[in-house]
Amino acid sequence: MAPTILFVPGYWEGPVTFERVVSLLRSQGCPTEIAELVSTGTTSPGNPSMLDDIAAIRLVVQKLVEEEEKDVILVVHSIAGMLGPCAIEGLGSKIRSDAGLKGGVRKIVFLAAAIAPKGFTHTPMPFFEYDGGAIHCKTPEKLLFNDLDAVATEKWVKVLRPQPAAGWDDTVTYSGWEEVPSVYLVCAKDAILPETMQLGFAQLAGSQITRCNAGHMVQISMPEKVVEVVKAAAEAN
């Protein structure tokens, strides 16, 4: 049985940015799921926190792995590169196989993703723009959508939702890439996470590196490339 491909979006974007990728994969017989960040679209105070995001991702992974005994390819974009691997403690394929259990996270695919070691505490980023209880991305036209045309950029800027101003600055307690093999898609035109930074993240995680000429939102500008990378990861031993 083909593994289930589980996508986790980054800040501001929500699952809608993966619709084309998901459609392409499903048309090719690949089962897919999306674990949304519960903090996206909320503002402070009283918002879900970074830990709530991690817990929400974990619930989806647990359902697939523990209840349905499925193999999973975890695909994480942007900040989800830090959150997703933190959510899979005890759910990796090798750990479960060694315990005589079926299913597990077989591989992680990083898409222009931030990666953090255990003990890292998230701090304010230079591309954050605060507006009361909300955080927005500064100049998303230049930072997120710099490889799209004007019409597409206008469309996707309207899709972005706020992140809360508080509750995201917690500490990474587990780094799943230490136990689960990974692939990193480096996006050369990324204006928010420069190529050299992405390569450093990939080296930290010991990822197999593949490259493309996309900006940060590679799932929008090069969905076919994302499908290619994800399918290769799913088909590899």
How many whole angstroms from its chain centre is CA 146? 20
| 88 — pLDDT class (breaks 50, 70, 90) | very high
Q: How far from 45 is each of 48, 198, 210, CA to CA, in Å?
A: 9, 32, 40
Mean local confidence (pLDDT), 24-40: 97
The reported pTM is 0.97
Q: 99: how many CB neighbours lie within 10 A of its CB? A: 9
Calpha distance 150→217 (Å, rounded): 15
Sign of the alpha-carbon torsion through 220, 222, 226, 227: positive
Q: Which residue has the tokens 């209880």?
A: 133
Mean local confidence (pLDDT), 143-152: 97
Q: What is the CATH topology of the domain spanning 4-235?
A: Rossmann fold (3.40.50)
200-211: pLDDT as tens digits: 999 999 999 999
CA gyration radius, the chain: 17
Which pLDDT score, from 0 to 100, does residue 236 have?
86
Domain layout of the chain by residue ranges: 4-235
Name the amino acid, one letter, at 56. A
Longest dimension (CA), the chain: 53
96-125: pLDDT as tens digits: 999 999 999 999 999 999 999 999 998 889
The answer on pLDDT for 237 being more than 70 is: no
